[in-house]
Amino acid sequence: MSRSFRIDPGGRLSGILRVPGDKSISHRSVMLGAIAEGVTDVTGFLEGADAISTMNVFRALGVRIDGPREGRVTVHGAGMHGLRGAAGPLDCGNAGTAMRLLIGLLAGQRFESTLVGDESLSHRPMRRVAEPLAAMGARIETAAGCPPVRILPAQALHGIRYAMPVASAQVKSALLLAGLYAQGETTVIEPAPTRDHTERMLEAFGVSLGREGAAVTLRGGQALRACTIDVPADISSAAFFLVGASIAPGSELLLEHVGINPTRTGVIEILRRMGADISLRNPRQAGGEPVADLQVRAAALRGIEVPPELVALAIDEFPALFVAAACAEGRTVVTGAAELRVKESDRIAVMADGLQALGVRATPTPDGMVIEGRGGEAGVFAPGVVAAHADHRIAMSFAMAGLRARGALTIRDTLNVGTSFPGFETLARTAGLRIEGRGEDA
Ligand code: S3P
């Protein structure tokens, strides 16, 4: 099945929107709800393919889960030792978060599991979790470091102190989940701050954690108590609209109830440094996570050198930020972002190819990109065709480029947009993007 977007040039974005629920928090709500005692009620759940993959995996592990219906999910917790071995392989689809966190969670179980994924996930590195988990006593087999991943029952896990070589919330989370089943303490030290949704949600489920600087410590054997979870709108999905409204003259948008956890707001900080006009309205708390309504107005952007310390705080937003950089006046330089090469696609190579196909001077580097912005011109992007390589965030980023294009854009291979942003086309069209979906299931 193939899908594509056609974007007619121009237009502006306006109105009040709520983008779908946070993907990271949705995954974790099912995982922690499944091993908790009692019933966890979730609202605002992301009804996208990735989070649904996680739900289906836990159903296969014997957990009763109702929903999703209009963002409501009810997880009937099986308790710490209530999961049951599945009859066949557990399919994580396109979801790296599902797979990496599950490896940690399943490492401490008394049954065997095999995790599989789609074509993209099957090429993503899993040693980064398998190796430290092996040091905890886990028995994990990969296919040369990639899925399928086989997890054999371990005798007993023991806590370790682990300094992560890469800044990865997925690795940190996998070790903390395994740490729940380990004897003694598990400490994870991060080289740079990464999203802390696992830590916050574990605390909401009654687990006590030590958080000191770059280190987080958890004592094994603690039970989780069910709770209610209000999932905020995903800042990573809001990012396309933050960029779209910034680059399209005359735009003004209000994005409601967006998660603004400080480990996720790098995109706001980077766009503001480029001159974007973004303000936070009505900041408040929702289930242990800070949220706000984001107001964004069009602004003249300028190129910047992105500070490497902001990279991990905006890691999923670089495809959109590269589009913003093309619309800025002057050069933008991104460094320290080699992790982009091992996401749903090689986001450095695929974005550079797409930008070049649309006439932008974009030079990929081993750990980032140099983009010569054309902010002075009304039409930044030449008409053309871009391959999204089945990467949802690449597809949505180039869709926003249509707002500053000189002719129609075609974006190929957009089916996976539904992994993180079901309803993107409709919402974007409502806001003013001249987008039309094409393909077999259009
Ligand atoms: C995620 C962590 C990030 C991010 C991914 C979601 C998570 O991956 O890119 O989309 O939910 O923990 P890394 O931990 O590999 O950086």
Structure-block tokens of residue 91 = 């399919």
The per-residue pLDDT for 203 is 98
Q: What residues contact residue 131 under an 8 Å CB cut-off, 6+ apart?
A: none
Output the CA–CA distances (angstroms, integers) from residue 112 to 140, 154, 171, 225, in the order listed.
Answer: 10, 9, 21, 26
The response to whether residue 196 sits with its C-beta less than 6 Å from ligand 1 reads no
Average pLDDT of the residues in 113-139:
98
The response to whether residue 316 sits with its C-beta less than 6 Å from ligand 1 reads yes
The response to whether residue 234 sits with its C-beta less than 6 Å from ligand 1 reads no
CA torsion angle 162 164 168 174 (round to 10): -20
Ligand 1 pocket test: which of 27, 29, 32, 168 has the largest number of ligand atoms within 8 Å of its C-beta?
168
Ligand 1 pocket test: which of 315, 318, 340, 416 has the largest number of ligand atoms within 8 Å of its C-beta?
315
Residue 440 has pLDDT above 80, yes or no: no
Q: How far is the CA of 170 from the centre of ligand 1 (A)?
A: 5
Structure-block tokens of residue 194 = 């990464």
**Percentage of the chain exceeding pLDDT 90:** 97
Structure-block tokens of residue 304 = 């910047």
The per-residue pLDDT for 14 is 98
Q: How far is the CA of 420 from the centre of ligand 1 (A)?
A: 13
Relative to the CA of 128, which ligand 1 atom is closest? Answer: 15
For residue 61, the one-letter residue type is L
Residue closest via CA to ligand 1's atom 9 equals 316
Relative to the CA of 27, which ligand 1 atom is closest? Answer: 11
Q: Could you write out the DSSP letters of every residue in 273-322?
A: HTT-EEEEEEEEEETTEEEEEEEEE----B--B--GGGTGGGGGGHHHHH
CATH topology of domain 2-21+232-440: UDP-n-acetylglucosamine1-carboxyvinyl-transferase; Chain (3.65.10)
Tell me the torsion sign for CA atoms 211, 342, 387, 148: negative
> What pLDDT digit, counting tens, does each position of 342-371 carry?
999 999 999 999 999 999 999 999 999 999
> What pLDDT digit, counting tens, does each position of 159-204 carry?
999 999 999 999 999 999 999 999 999 999 999 999 999 999 999 9
Residue 280 CA to residue 238 CA, distance in Å, equals 13
The per-residue pLDDT for 442 is 37
Residue 441 has pLDDT above 80, yes or no: no
Contact 360, 325 (CB under 8 A): no
Q: What residues contact residue 133 under an 8 Å CB cut-off, 6+ apart?
A: 103, 104, 107, 140, 174, 175, 178
Q: Would you place residue 234 in the very low, low, confident or very high pLDDT band (cuts 50, 70, 90)?
A: very high
Q: How far is the CA of 96 from the centre of ligand 1 (A)?
A: 8
Contact 402, 409 (CB under 8 A): yes
Residue 417 CA to residue 236 CA, distance in Å, equals 13
Q: Could you write out the DSSP letters of every residue in 25-48?
A: HHHHHHHHHHTEESEEEEES---S
Catalytically annotated residue among 316, 346, 367, 441 = 316
Q: Give the other-Cβ count within 10 Å of 441's Cβ.
A: 9
Residue 359 CA to residue 368 CA, distance in Å, equals 19
Starting at the earlier edge strand, list the strands of the sheet with 185-189.
Answer: 161-163, 185-189, 215-219, 209-212
Tell me the torsion sign for CA atoms 209, 27, 351, 292: negative
Domain with CATH 3.65.10.10 in the chain: 2-21+232-440, 23-193
Q: Which secondary-structure segment (H or E) carries 211?
A: strand 209-212
> What pLDDT digit, counting tens, does each position of 369-411 carry?
999 999 988 899 999 999 999 999 999 999 999 999 999 999 9
Q: β-strand 64-69 against 252-259: which pairing, if any? A: unpaired
Tell me the torsion sign for CA atoms 305, 310, 311, 315: negative
Residue 103 CA to residue 118 CA, distance in Å, equals 16
Average pLDDT of the residues in 151-160:
95
Contact 151, 140 (CB under 8 A): yes
Relative to the CA of 24, which ligand 1 atom is closest? Answer: 11
> What is the CATH number that goes with domain 23-193?
3.65.10.10
Residue 49 has pLDDT above 70, yes or no: yes
Q: Is 103 left (phi over 0), alpha (psi -120 to 50) or beta?
A: alpha
Largest Cα span, the chain: 64
Side-chain-side CA neighbours of 295 within 13 Å: the count stands at 5
Ligand 1 pocket test: which of 22, 23, 24 has the largest number of ligand atoms within 8 Å of its C-beta?
24
Relative to the CA of 28, which ligand 1 atom is closest? Answer: 11
The response to whether residue 168 sits with its C-beta less than 6 Å from ligand 1 reads yes
Q: How many helices (H) and strands (E) does the chain have?
A: 13, 27
Residue 179 CA to residue 192 CA, distance in Å, equals 21
The response to whether residue 195 sits with its C-beta less than 6 Å from ligand 1 reads yes
Q: How far is the CA of 315 from the centre of ligand 1 (A)?
A: 8
Residue 2 has pLDDT above 90, yes or no: no
Q: Is 22 a catalytic residue?
A: no
Q: Which secondary-structure segment (H or E) carries 153?
A: none
The per-residue pLDDT for 363 is 98
The response to whether residue 198 sits with its C-beta less than 6 Å from ligand 1 reads no
The response to whether residue 170 sits with its C-beta less than 6 Å from ligand 1 reads yes
> What pLDDT digit, counting tens, does each position of 243-294 carry?
999 999 999 999 999 999 999 999 999 999 999 999 999 999 998 899 999 9
The response to whether residue 53 sits with its C-beta less than 6 Å from ligand 1 reads no
Q: What residues contact residue 84 under an 8 Å CB cut-off, 6+ apart?
A: 61, 62, 111
Relative to the CA of 101, which ligand 1 atom is closest? Answer: 12
Contact 236, 281 (CB under 8 A): no
pLDDT averaged over the chain? 97
The DSSP symbol for 193 reads: -
Q: How far is the CA of 405 from the centre of ligand 1 (A)?
A: 31
